[in-house]
Amino acid sequence: MSVTAAFDIGGSKIEFARVDREGAVTNRATLPTPHTNWGDFVAALRSLVAADGGHATRIGISIAGTTDSATGIAQAANVPVVNGHHLENEISAALGVPVRVGNDADCFALAEATVGAGRGKPIVFGAILGTGVGGGLVIGGRMVRGANGVTGEWGHGPILAEAVAARGIPVIRCGCGQIGCLDSYGSARGLERIHGAFTGASLTSHEITQAWHAGDADAARTVDAFVELIAGPLSVIVNTIGPWVIPVGGGLSSDPALLERIDLAVRARVLGRYDTPLVVPGRTRGASGLIGAAMLAEELPA
């Protein structure tokens, strides 16, 4: 019997589950992520598989990092134990089953394109609006893997320096080293940064959106700027790749009114006509990494 299992590996925990072809997730289990010892890391993966009975015939892995398309070597700031390792080959050898590995945002996009909001659509761009801004691209039901393992990273690139400076928002250096990245302003921390620049107040993103929903004028000004800063770059993505839908994941995706504002702003800026919502909440949130990793593994022979 063919059994597809998946790992969703983040900085704090490794989550394991079985996933069927319709995206149903069962047998979930977690362990803390070992950060320094490769042997401990592999042992954690092996123990999760063994606890499920060791029945997996193929495994998909979603990880918060990149895998070089040419070399297969991983780089993950939040999971340093994997850096320099060829994850697919080494984990496959350790566990005795074929393995596929994808970036977490790419796996979100694949999950949405196969069983989520983009199911059956020819081109799906999955966008992440959470602690950072990320994305993934799926064409014809297959994850697109770019050079150096980078695809869909619309949150990075020095494109907003002038726009934020014109609004009186501090222009800061992103963690990637560039100045003026959308990641610094279109994320949850970015929403907080914009509000702080406008008001001097230190509020969480949730407190800001709550105040906006309650009719607070300062919060409304913050949300207006936030939406404008996101809509421009995202409209370029739409005009470039022509997605049928953009499912959104990450913490900010849980606010339907905010996504509706972003959707309307993006559709007003693109060349194509979209008569129905383009930017929509993802449907696989909470399990997207596991589902996307499993769908990636489905490309492997059982």
For the chain, the domains span: 4-107+287-297, 120-281
| Mean pLDDT value across the chain | 95
Other beta carbons within 10 angstroms of residue 275's beta carbon come to: 6
Of the pLDDT bands very low, low, confident and very high (cuts 50, 70, 90), residue 302 is low
Cβ within 8 Å of residue 229, ≥6 positions away: 160, 163, 164, 182, 185, 186, 190, 194
Has residue 133 got a pLDDT over 60?
yes
Superfamily of domain 120-281: ATPase, nucleotide binding domain (3.30.420.40)
Has residue 300 got a pLDDT over 90?
no
Domain 4-107+287-297, classified CATH 3.50.50.60, yes or no? no
Q: Do domains 4-107+287-297 and 120-281 have the same CATH topology?
A: yes
Has residue 172 got a pLDDT over 90?
yes
pTM summary value? 0.95
Q: What is the pLDDT of residue 148?
A: 84
Per-residue pLDDT of 30-57, as tens digits, reads: 999 999 999 999 999 999 999 999 999 9
Q: What is the pLDDT of residue 285?
A: 86
Has residue 62 got a pLDDT over 80?
yes
Has residue 203 got a pLDDT over 70?
yes
